[in-house]
Amino acid sequence: MVTRRNLLIGSGVVLAGAILTRPSDRGGSYPAYFGKLNALLRRQEIDRPVLVIDLDRLDRNIDRVARSIATGAGKTYRIVVKSIPCPQLVDYVARRSNTNALMVFHRPFLQEMASRRPDADILLGKPLPVSAAQTFYALHSGPFDPAAQLQWLIDTEARLQQYLALAKKQNLLLRVNLEIDVGLHRGGFRAPEEMEPVLQLISANPQHVRFSGFMGYDAHLMGLPGFLAERELPRVKARYQAFLALLKSRYPQLLNDKLTFNAAGSPTFRHYENDSFVNDLSAGTCLMKPTHYDLAILSDFEAAAFIATPVLKRVQGANLPALESLGPLLRGWDVNQQQMIFGYSGNWLAENEAPPGLSPNFAYTSSNQQGYNASAAVEIGVDDFIFLRPTQSEAVLLQFGDLVLVRGDQIEARWPVLPVGV
């Protein structure tokens, strides 16, 4: 039976719970770094969303990668182009890190890199349809020599047969790197015995295909809890070494000092500092450090890329379409809904960075005008900038046209991104 006393106690519990769970004010002013960046973009009269890269932060990130890879003698740093898809940005990283090794994942990017960087050593980061190889050779011209500088990635015997047929038809010599499944389980050779027919086929056709090495990518380590990652890492290395053992014992005729034994990626390259069985380590996204790479192993890396989008409108009071009567209740309950800020475009793979306290409003999720809830403590005006930090780099960096390169309180350059079309 519900008594008056029980009802009062229950109501008190509910009220206390409501008070305890009431959202606190998350708003505030720009941190000093973003206040200066906002002032710079306003002085330059930037009138649209742009992707800003901080060159000072980027320099320090490049140096961190280079120092790590230099820990082990004889290792090559291979720049992952898809993570920094801009020719001048690739050039910049290559100069500072003193490397000409690139990993490319997209045939139009391959075409551009082979044309712009005739000294490059290029490894494909994923197996492409044989039609991509056919198109590449049909369009390629210039001093870049694919027979000596390009490695196609092969994941199955069937794909090698396709590439071999192309090589025979066009009288080509193709360098082929073999993809190992070291535990990610999204393709590649899972056991050394699966690779034997491919190594035999390569050995039997030296005039058309040449073995250039192995590639083993271990991105699954990034998403594992710490204790599982610690247990899995030795297994990853053991799987890779089993393929090397097969190569050395059964196919010594394929060995030479120019082979590429590639491993790692941005979340894991530091795990190979003391290993000698690999000689080629890839990294790219850590240079930008989007939010998905907020990992303990990269804790010293700095976020270097931000979306900056102008504020179009600032509306006092949050109101929902067709539910205006709920507005006072929402604002009374949550101080972070005292105003609405509308940005130029939106709905990117990105999270709000500055000013603090902006949160996307579900009713105004839009790639045209994204609406954000904010408290009165967010003192941002029309024509100021909202700064967002990408959750990843490769797709996001391609969405804004020219990248805006900033050093200190100056815009140092504007660099176009790579073409994505056919």
> Do 60 and 77 have their domain in common?
yes
> Do 98 and 81 have their domain in common?
yes
The torsion region of residue 153 among left (phi > 0), alpha (psi -120 to 50) and beta comes to beta
What pLDDT does 2 receive?
46
> Do 351 and 323 have their domain in common?
yes
What pLDDT does 14 receive?
36
> Do 76 and 211 have their domain in common?
yes
* 378 within domain boundaries: yes
* 7 within domain boundaries: no
What pLDDT does 16 receive?
40
Which residues make Cβ contacts (< 8 Å) with residue 226, sequence separation at least 6?
Answer: 296
Looking at the structure of the chain, the number of domains it has is 2
* 199, 251 contact by CB (below 8 A): yes
> Do 36 and 67 have their domain in common?
no
* 293 within domain boundaries: no
**DSSP state string for 58-75:** HHHHHHHHHHHHHTSTTP
Partners of residue 370 on adjacent β-strands: 343
Give the pTM: 0.91
> Do 143 and 269 have their domain in common?
yes
* 122 within domain boundaries: yes
* 4 within domain boundaries: no
Last residue of a domain, one of 247, 263, 287: 287
Last residue of a domain, one of 248, 263, 287: 287
> Do 81 and 212 have their domain in common?
yes
> Do 365 and 229 have their domain in common?
no
Half-sphere exposure of 11 (CA within 13 A, CB side): 7
> Do 59 and 45 have their domain in common?
no
Q: How far apart are CA 149 and CA 127, in angstroms?
A: 17
Half-sphere exposure of 20 (CA within 13 A, CB side): 6
Q: For residue 61, give the CATH number of its domain.
A: 3.20.20.10
Last residue of a domain, one of 287, 311, 339: 287
> Do 123 and 204 have their domain in common?
yes
* 20 within domain boundaries: no
Type and span of the H or E element at 261: strand 260-263
Residue type, 420: V
Distance, C-alpha 304 to centroid of its chain = 12
Q: For residue 331, give the CATH number of its domain.
A: 2.40.37
Over the chain (422 residues), what is each successive 10-residue block's mean pLDDT? 45 41 85 98 97 98 97 92 97 98 97 97 98 98 98 98 98 98 92 97 98 93 82 93 97 96 95 94 97 95 98 82 59 75 96 95 89 92 97 93 97 95 62
What pLDDT does 291 receive?
97
> Do 114 and 243 have their domain in common?
yes
What pLDDT does 314 receive?
92
What pLDDT does 169 receive?
98
The closest of 112, 111, 80, 37 to 416, measured between CA atoms, is 112
Helices marked H in 117-269: 130-139, 146-149, 157-170, 192-204, 226-250
What pLDDT does 288 receive?
98
* 31, 357 contact by CB (below 8 A): no
User: How many angstroms separate the Cα of 178 from the Cα of each of 19, 23, 154, 187, 410?
Assistant: 60, 53, 5, 11, 45
* 9 within domain boundaries: no
Partners of residue 404 on adjacent β-strands: 52, 414
Per the structure, the complete domain to which residue 91 belongs is given by: 55-287
In 3-state terms the chain splits into helix, strand, coil percentages (rounded to 5) of: 40, 25, 35
What pLDDT does 9 receive?
42
> Do 223 and 126 have their domain in common?
yes
* 280 within domain boundaries: yes
